Amino acid sequence: MMAVTAKAFQLWRSRIAPDDTVSDVCRTAGIKRSTLAQQLVRGKVSVGTIIAIARGYSRDPVQALGEFDGYRDLGFGLRPPTDAELVSQVSSIDILRLLVARSEDAERTDEPIGLELAPFPHRNSVRAWVEAIDPGDLRQSLAARTGVARQNVSAQLTAGRLSPELAVEAARIAGVSLTSGLVVTGLLTPGEGGWPGDARGRALEVLTDIELVQLARDRLEVLGKQLRKAELDDGQDQAIWENLG
Amino acid sequence: MGEPGMSVVAIQWLALAACLLGAAIRLPDVVRGRGRVVFTALLLLSVAVGLSLEPIYLAVDRLLGGVNLANLAIRLCLYAVFVLLGVRMVAAFKAPRARKFIVGPLGIAVLAATVAFTVYFFFQSDLPYSDTGLTAFADQEAVEHYSEAGRLYPGYVAACLVGPALVSVVNRNARFLHRLAGAFLALGFGTVTVFAVLELFNVELAAGMIILPFSAILCVVLGLCLIWFSKRRAARSGGRSNLLAQ
């Protein structure tokens, strides 16, 4: 189930905002009235809408989501992120900057290098996270357990997206904190999802030099592939524009 | 054959408007020396479409001596359009096989044969007075061959282009506008191909005779306009995105 049912949503809404109209709720949550109306007509309210409304009414978004079918275990499954997850949310350029910073640390003082990390999610957050938690056959199990076609799962990951349903299910399969997927897809803030603010920096500190170099190599390889693909697509666009534009 | 219905005439005028509009929006670029080939193709297409409309045809043909030279002009304009569009399409879609078929010996042979047959059968026909679409002389064998020859090269080039256009539609990495444009181009060229094949087997088309080719023209021009629009939009949004940015 991708989203929560309109019926369950209405029940929840009447509990957290008994006196507010739908318009009031939209104003408080900062969402467009037409968006919610459309979701209600279709009978499915998106996870993003629930989170926005929970925030608007100063409710914990994780607890709010936990009141709906498909997400009831969310609160109990809240754990600190693993080191691999944390490192996956450091951008490639920050990994390289850390490498350079360590190379300039001539004294080997072993004092932590206080690098100002770029905020996340970053460009490759979703894919990097899935790779970090993958026990080996994550995409396959994900497709099998959600009924979403495998190509569809792959297409989402290639595009740097993952639906909330898949994000939570991936965390269940991998046995990591159930909110992690919602954090790396940007639906929850790191704070809401139980990711401590300085955790990424600490996860980087414990990386050995070899691990850091190998990580940098892997990231550069991914980046290289992306650049090549982008160049190819760009070449196609240019050919079309130059010849037919 | 009888008088063409209102809707048929409407689609012809619509096609003419589309061609002229497609050419007009490209004018600013053409002045700066860019996109001249497609612009020329659209102008020639406008001439061909315009001449298939009775009032324009009769007026122009009178200037040309009233012996239906205007009809020959339509054919030759169309062949030129297919040469120009064919060459540009295969380059745009990076389709080397289709390119070989169009600019290679076979493509040139089909073009030469089509032009030769067209001119030969035109002068073999007995066309004493102006008549749009030569419908008054349709029972002459030479006129029949003349119109058959006219489908040959367009049908051949269109058949070569359907594949590359379809490939661009199924390319998931391509821009939405380019996939949409590819769909219209594939539909347009597909229609031209089908039209030529039906003619080959002498299938009676009645009103489809006019609606099919003019719908095809509309599709192709719409596809070209979408590409023009996507180029414009990309130029306005400025530069390429920096993939090294975090």
Q: Does the pLDDT at position A121 exceed 80?
A: yes
Is residue B237 in a domain? no
The pLDDT value given to residue A106? 64
Domain that holds residue B37: 12-231
State both tokens at B99.
Answer: 């390119």
Establish if A52 belongs to a structural domain: yes
Strand partners, B101: none
Q: Determine the average pLDDT of the residues in B25-45.
A: 94
**Is residue A216 a part of any domain in this protein?**
no
d(CA B90, CA B5): 37
Bridge partners of residue A44, in order along the sequence: A5
- A121 prior amide bond cis, ω within 30: yes
pLDDT band (50, 70, 90) for residue B2? very low
Tokens of B66: 């009233």
- Is residue A58 located within the same domain as residue A93? no
A58 lies in the same domain as A88:
no
A210 within domain boundaries? no
Residue A180 lies in a domain: yes
Provide residues of A within 8 Å CB-CB of chain B. Answer: 91-94, 118, 122-123, 155, 223, 226-227, 229-230, 232-234, 236-237, 239-245
Smallest Cβ–Cβ distance between B35 and the set A227, A236, A245 belongs to A245
**pLDDT tens across B163-213, in order?**
999 999 998 888 999 999 999 999 999 999 998 888 878 777 666 677 888
List pLDDT tens digits, range A185-243: 999 999 999 999 889 999 999 999 999 999 999 999 999 998 998 888 888 999 999 99
Q: What is the mean pLDDT of residues B116-141?
A: 92
Which residues are CB-contacts of B80 (< 8 A; sequence separation ≥ 6)?
A: B41, B44
Q: Do A239 and B234 touch (CB under 8 A)?
A: no
Instruction: State the Cα–Cα distance between residues B172 and A230, nearest whole angstrom.
Output: 13
A223 to B243: CB separation less than 8 angstroms, yes or no: yes
Give the angle subtended at the CA of B25 by the CAs of B23 and B28, to the nearest 5°.
105
Cα separation, B136 vs A45, in Å, equals 65
- Mean pLDDT in residue range B30-59: 95
* CA closest to A230 among chain B residues: B243
Does residue A106 share a domain with residue A199?
A: yes
Instruction: Write down the mean pLDDT value for chain B.
Output: 91
Q: Which of A118, A226, A234 sits opposite B240 (nearest CB)?
A: A234
What is the C-alpha separation between A171 and A173, in angstroms, rounded? 5
Question: How many independent structural domains does chain B possess?
Answer: 1
Would you say residue B243 lies in a domain?
Answer: no
Same domain, A101 and A193: yes
pLDDT at B239: 61
The model's confidence at residue A1, banded by pLDDT at 50, 70 and 90, is: very low
Asked if B168 contacts B182 with a C-beta cutoff of 8 angstroms, the reply is yes
Helix B54-63 to helix B69-92 angle (10° resolution) is 110
Angstroms from B211 CA to nearest CA on chain A? 25
- The answer to whether residue B1 is domain-embedded is no
Cβ pair B235, A238 in contact under 8 A: no
CB B246 within 8 A of CB A94: yes
pLDDT of B241 over the 70 cut:
no
Domain that holds residue A186: 83-205
β partners of residue A5:
A44
The residue of chain A with its CA nearest to that of B182 is: A240
Are B136 and B71 contacting, i.e. CB atoms less than 8 angstroms apart? Answer: no
Q: Which helix (H) or strand (E) holds A208?
A: none
B175: in domain: yes
Domain assignment present for residue A212? The answer is no
**Structurally, how many domains does chain A consist of?**
2
CA angle centred on A176, ends A170 and A181, rounded to 5°: 50
Q: Compute how many other C-beta atoms are within 10 angstroms of the C-beta atom of residue A77.
A: 19
- Per CB-CB distance under 8 Å, the chain B contacts of A229 are 173
Select from B37, B174, B246 the Cβ nearest to the Cβ of A236.
B174
Asked whether the beta carbons of residue B234 and residue A91 sit closer than 8 angstroms, the reply is no
Q: How many CB pairs under 8 A join A and B?
A: 66
Convert the pLDDT of each residue in A39-54 to its tens digit.
999 999 999 999 999 9
In a domain? residue A137 = yes
Assess if residue B3 is contained within a domain: no
> Do A104 and A190 lie in a common domain?
yes
Q: Is the pLDDT of residue B109 over 80?
A: yes
Contact criterion met (CB < 8 Å) for B92 and A239: yes
- CB–CB contact B88 A244 (8 Å): yes
Q: Which residues of B touch A118 (CB under 8 A)?
A: 246
Is A15 buried (19+), middle (13-18) or exposed (0-12) by CB count in 10 A? exposed
Report the share of chain A in percent with pLDDT over 90.
76
Residue A19 belongs to domain with CATH number:
1.10.260
Q: Residue A99: which pLDDT band, with cuts at 50, 70 and 90?
A: very high
Q: What is the number of residues in chain A?
A: 245
A123-134: b or e for each residue (b if 16 or more CB lie within 10 Å)? bbbbbbbbebbb
Q: Are residues A100 and A194 in the same domain?
A: yes
Chain A contact set for B38 (CB, 8 A): 243-245
What is the per-residue pLDDT for A182?
A: 96
Chain B 224-243, residues with CB within 8 Å of chain A CB atoms: 224, 227-228, 230-231, 234, 240, 243
B104, part of any domain: yes
- Name the residue among A229, A239, A244 with its Cβ closest to that of B94: A239
What residues of chain B, 64 to 93, have a C-beta less than 8 Å from chain A? Answer: 88-89, 91-93
* Alpha carbon of B243: minimum distance to chain A alpha carbons (Å): 7
Q: Among all residues of chain B, which has the CA nearest to that of A245? A: B228
Mean pLDDT of B138-149: 91
Could you tell me if residue B105 is inside a domain?
A: yes
Q: Out of A93, A118, A239, name the one closest to residue B91 (CB).
A: A239
Instruction: Enter the DSSP assignment of B221.
Output: H
Nearest CA in chain B to A91: B246
Residue A106 and residue A140 in one domain: yes
Which contiguous run of DSSP H or E holds residue A5? strand A4-5
A78 within some domain: no
A243/B234 touch (CB, cutoff 8 Å), yes or no: no
Torsion, CA B10, CA B13, CA B18, CA B23, rounded to 10: 180
Q: Does A199 lie in the same domain as A111?
A: yes
Tell me the per-residue pLDDT of A43-91, one tens digit each, with 9 for 90 and over: 999 999 999 999 999 999 999 999 999 999 988 888 999 999 999 999 9
Tell which of A65, A96, A112 closes a domain.
A65
- Asked if B234 lies within 8 A of A237 by C-beta distance, the reply is yes
CA separation, residue A115 to residues A102, A202, B244 (Å): 11, 11, 19
CA A139 – CA A130 distance, rounded (Å): 9
| Whole-number CA gyration radius for chain B | 19
Could you tell me how far CA A237 lies from the centroid of its own chain?
A: 30
Residue with tokens 């949004």: B237
The per-residue pLDDT for A231 is 87
